[in-house]
Amino acid sequence: MAELLWTYGVVPAGLGAPAIAGIEDTPVTAVCDGELCALAGSVPAARFSRAELERALEDMDTLAALARAHDRVLEAALEAGDVVPFPLCTIFESAEAIEAMLAARHDALSAALARVHGMSEWGVKAFVRPRETVPAGRPSSGAEYLARRQADRDRATVDAEQVEFAAARAHAELAEHARAAVMSRLQDKRLSRRDAEMVLNGAYLVPREDAAAFAARVDALDERISELALELTGPWPPYRFVAEAHP
């Protein structure tokens, strides 16, 4: 049966492939060219063809299983050392095609590996913290009702500005204590599964030995910035800091 090679990412030669099952529970192997090794695993061509993948990715369970397996291998690679993660569904026809990619992308991959050396990625999401509302009595007149409505609107505008400023301040402070930082697109409420509005979806590249200090800083910011509730995720493989090295 024809096979394709699902590629997880690139590690420095010498680290080898993590002893962990990847996509479809197949073993992960290292395909190397010089000092760069791609972590790859065989997948059946019949089910990983373009048409089959397109259909498979529409199915949430399949997409989730692929994403989890991809992440599991990269997490194991991160535990062993440094890794440049590739996006989901980076698939090659043969080991030779991977070697050619490693040679062609050598400089970008080496630069990315150097940049993420000793680092992991942390995610920080900020949500608007709901303010306690003071219950108001029944308005005594139509005019008072309208005045209250206007005051609510004015307050909402000020709040939005305050919250935006608070999110920018949180990001700036976290970025100051990271080697690199990016702000990603905010997650839709339907995806974040939170009632509160997301106002920051940041990622921070942090030296592994500074992880505890970074987590403490997030907790402190969460305490200090009353407008926001912060949520820390990680450590992640440096997904958001290697895009320019992708094949």
Partner 1 sequence: MTVASHDIARRREVALVDLLDRLLAGGVVIGGDITLSIADVDLVYVSLRALITSVEGIR
Residue 174 C-beta: closest distance to partner 1, Å: 15
| One residue of 57, 175, 183, 229 binding partner 1 per CB under 8 A | 57
Q: Rounded distance, CA 77 to CA 75, Å? A: 5
Closer residue to partner 1 in complex, CB, 227/238: 238
Decide if residue 42 touches partner 1 (CB under 8 A): no
Residue 66 C-beta: closest distance to partner 1, Å: 9
Residue 24 C-beta: closest distance to partner 1, Å: 17
- Taken in order 52, 58, 61, 66, is the CA torsion positive or negative? positive
Decide if residue 67 touches partner 1 (CB under 8 A): yes
Identify residues 128-187 at the interface with partner 1 (CB under 8 A). 184-185, 187
The torsion defined by the Cα of 115, 15, 40 and 71, in degrees rounded to 10, comes to -60
Binding residues with partner 1: total (CB under 8 A): 58
Give phi and psi for 27, each to the nearest 5. -70, 155
Q: Are 123 and 233 in contact (CB under 8 A)?
A: yes
Category of 156 on φ-ψ map: left (φ > 0), alpha (ψ -120 to 50) or beta: alpha
Decide if residue 192 touches partner 1 (CB under 8 A): yes
Residue 163 C-beta: closest distance to partner 1, Å: 21
The H or E element containing residue 124 is strand 119-128
Interacting residues of 156 by C-beta distance below 8 A, sequence separation 6+: none
- Footprint of partner 1 (CB under 8 A): 4, 48-50, 53-54, 57-60, 63-64, 67-68, 70-71, 75, 79, 86-93, 97-98, 100-101, 120, 123, 184-185, 187-188, 190-193, 201, 203, 208-212, 215, 232-236, 239-240, 243, 246-247
